[in-house]
A and B are shown apart, each in its own frame.
Chain A
């Protein structure tokens, strides 16, 4: 039986991929990505946010960044972009278009939103969760 899907945002994925992140904790995110009962979804914006963060790390040349990009596509995250109208509705409530993309997608898919961003937790208290908890 499939669980309600999870939307992950960059505040969760970046620390799971980059060992230098202060809150580096790949165990929880990996467990979510590895859960066969769970569909993990993100807007394609997440790839740009990972790349922005990766490019800022010391020693990351074009070769290394391409290596990250190629492997990023193999991670079990399905990319789905929300409707622009839904993004606009969340922007009207005070979110940036970036955060609104994640919020709109969570609402469209009736999903939980795995995020470490406090603003998203304040605006989506019924959907936002700080960490993945396995079913039973």
Chain B
């Protein structure tokens, strides 16, 4: 997904960018995009490493909490959790409607 953005650069910077892009056989946008990828790459690598470590640590938290690891069906449990939440909301709305009806009668 590409987005158009406005950048503020002075004329000399723009001229240097265009010269470098032309020398590399790239458009201005493609040259700036490549520079951004190159500059941010080490940070992206570190983020992926932290992500891998975080997932491994999350696994360990669950294993330490319950070494027996009773199996469960994730998709079914997510559906059940949503249904329970909806049912609770329905009960609250029903109670509010009944309370409103009682006030109307009084």
Q: How many A-B residue pairs have CB under 8 A?
A: 115
Q: Once bound together, how far apart are the Cα atoms of A14 and B44, in whole Å? A: 24
Residue of A whose beta carbon sits closest to that of B73: A22
Q: Once bound together, how far apart are the Cα atoms of A53 and B72, in whole Å? A: 10
Contact partner of B51 (CB less than 8 A), chosen from A5, A20, A76, is A76
B interface vs A, CB < 8 Å?
Answer: 1, 41, 44-45, 47-48, 50-55, 57-59, 61-66, 68-75, 77-78, 81-82, 86
* 29 examples of A-B residue contacts, CB within 8 angstroms: A10-B78, A14-B74, A18-B74, A19-B59, A19-B63, A21-B72, A22-B72, A22-B74, A26-B59, A33-B51, A36-B44, A49-B81, A53-B74, A53-B78, A56-B72, A57-B65, A58-B66, A58-B68, A60-B66, A64-B61, A64-B62, A71-B54, A71-B55, A71-B61, A74-B50, A76-B47, A76-B51, A96-B82, A96-B86
